[in-house]
Amino acid sequence: MSRMSRFLTIFGAELRFNLKRPMFWTMMSIVALLAWGMSTGSVQISSGSSTVGGRKAWITSEFSSAYVLAFISSMLMGFFASIAAGLAILRDEEAKVGEVLHATPLKPGEYVWGKGLAILTAFLVGLAGAAGLMIFFNHAVPHPGEVEIYGPLSLLNYLRPALVFGMPFLVFLIGTVSYLGERTRRPVVPFLLPVGFLTLCAFFLWSWSPTWLDPAINRWLGYLDPSGFRWLNETWLKKDLGADFYNTSRIGLDLPFVLSRLAWMGIGVAALAASTRHFGRNLRASGSLAP
């Protein structure tokens, strides 16, 4: 069996496992409820005035979709992704997978990368599902009493926010938590990390913006937020540029923000690579794996 075949075997098995887990479908059920609630006005994430000049801002605009998807990917999916990534290798250790690594040509890199990329793929499927559910509830079955909050369907209004805000965060989180879970071998780590991140965001990154804060520092705090939520809010939503602007415009991405999104993804990839090296060293140190 070739290196690629071994990698795909691990990748396929882990992907199927994660897509079938009750935890994954619990997450998607919550996403569906949120998407439905937001489409009817029962659940709202507001920023500034919803009306300018008597006209309502569309919940189907790119700005609104970015606001919602940044929240869902970081707060909801982030919690479930942390558990899946942080416990993946620990779960296999309980099943004595290390003995399989010793007895077969399967390499540590094929194993760690196969599992990590499978978990990432599963949650990217979840992110695509979240965007799809928003499209369904906003356009296929809109609330009949709130027709003025719906604009025409534009797939880019959902695709761009998912790629710019959701995907970089998931790459960063899954890679980082995979590394911490493999390095510490402590099951509590995947649970503490999202709680700590939620606390940091809720009480600092997303809410702390005093009037005396230097604009340069404010911009840097936006770049240092892996979810991108602060940058979106501080750069575009707090200005209240009017319903017409939000309904029809694309989110303008400045170069430092784009670089920060790439950097967060790079950190996630580097963390997964570091996890591969550490996992391989541990196996070699056991004396059961040939160099």
Tell me the average pLDDT across 121-142.
Answer: 96
For the chain, the average pLDDT equals: 87
Dist. CA 146–CA 164, nearest whole Å: 29
Share of the chain above pLDDT 90, in %: 57
Dist. CA 27–CA 154, nearest whole Å: 25
Question: For residues 227 and 70, is the Cβ–Cβ distance under 8 A?
Answer: yes
Question: For residues 251 and 63, is the Cβ–Cβ distance under 8 A?
Answer: yes
Dist. CA 205–CA 58, nearest whole Å: 26
φ/ψ of 152, rounded to 5, equals -65, 155
Dist. CA 252–CA 235, nearest whole Å: 9
φ/ψ of 91, rounded to 5, equals -65, -40
* DSSP label at residue 148: G
Residue 28 banded pLDDT, cuts 50, 70, 90: very high
- DSSP of 186-215, one letter per residue? -TTHHHHHHHHHHHHIIIIITT---TTS-H
Collapsed DSSP state (helix, strand, coil) of residue 59: coil
pTM: 0.90
φ/ψ of 208, rounded to 5, equals -85, 105
Q: Exposed, middle or buried by CB within 10 Å (0-12, 13-18, 19+), for 229?
A: buried
Domain boundaries, the chain: 3-285
Q: What is the pLDDT of residue 51?
A: 43
pLDDT in tens, 242-269: 888 888 999 999 999 999 999 999 999 9
pLDDT in tens, 211-225: 899 999 999 999 999
Q: Return the structure tokens found at 19.
A: 């897509």
Q: What is the pLDDT of residue 47?
A: 43
The contacts of residue 36 (CB under 8 Å, 6+ apart) are 42, 133, 137
Q: What is the pLDDT of residue 239?
A: 81
Q: What is the pLDDT of residue 52?
A: 41
Share of the chain above pLDDT 70, in %: 89
Dist. CA 191–CA 188, nearest whole Å: 5
> What distances in angstroms separate CA 88 from CA 4, 82, 218, 236, one per listed residue?
21, 10, 37, 38
φ/ψ of 272, rounded to 5, equals -70, -35
CA dihedral sign, ordered 146, 147, 153, 156: negative
Q: What is the pLDDT of residue 89?
A: 86
Task: Reply yes or no on whether the pLDDT at 49 is more than 80.
Answer: no
Dist. CA 126–CA 110, nearest whole Å: 24
More confident residue, 151 or 195: 151
Instruction: Give the Cβ contact number of residue 100 at 10 Å.
Output: 12
Tell me the average pLDDT across 20-43.
Answer: 89
Q: What is the pLDDT of residue 43?
A: 52
Q: What is the pLDDT of residue 284?
A: 65
* DSSP label at residue 288: -
More confident residue, 169 or 202: 169
